[in-house]
Amino acid sequence: MIVLGIDPGLANLGIGIVEGDARKARHLHHVCVYTESAWLMPRRLLYLHTELTRLIEIYQPEAVAIEDQFLRRQADVAFKVGQAVGVVQLACAQMDLPIQAYGPMQVKQALVGHGRADKAQVQYMVKASLGLREIGSNHAADALALALTHLAQQPMRRALAAT
């Protein structure tokens, strides 16, 4: 299974693509797509959509894992991130890709084994799981973590579907 992980953001959209299953995953690609704050909003959103669509066409993922957003105290940030999430949802809908959202604690639990892990522990597990020395962007690392989380959840999803 090929999974596209997305760490949504307007200025920094993390993208990570992995292939495999719960036991063994292979890194295919990761990137952080940046937009300039000086760009008008329509240009920023179009750029995110264009880059995401391009990568979907190249890698042909079967599923998308996106970070669930919990930005309750910063309304302006939540609004901007929400627009980026909308662009991601649009691009995925256009390609008929199912989207599953995961919260930070779910990702930490899946990769480290407990929901109170710190970012460094999660990044270590992402690199170790995929055989990477460096990832570069925290946003791309988070996107890869989301994709790995989705793979880890697949056996449970299949078992539930069989009942």
Q: 2: helix, coil or strand?
A: strand
Q: Provide Rg for the chain, Cα atoms.
A: 15
Segment-wise mean pLDDT, segments of 10 residues, the chain, 163 residues? 96 97 94 97 97 98 90 72 93 96 93 90 95 93 97 77 70
- pLDDT for res 97: 97
- Split into its structural domains, the chain has a count of 1
Of these residues, 7, 27, 30, 142, which one is catalytic?
7
* CA separation for the pair 21, 127 (Å, rounded): 16
Of these residues, 27, 30, 67, 142, which one is catalytic?
67
Tell me the CATH number at 150.
3.30.420.10
- pLDDT for res 49: 98
* CA separation for the pair 136, 16 (Å, rounded): 12
DSSP character at residue 115: T
67 is catalytic: yes
Of these residues, 19, 27, 96, 139, which one is catalytic?
139
**Are the C-beta atoms of 87 and 48 separated by less than 8 Å?**
yes
- pLDDT for res 124: 95
Which range of residues forms the domain containing residue 115?
A: 2-162
The residue ranges of DSSP E strands in 8-98, in sequence order, are 12-20, 25-34, 63-67
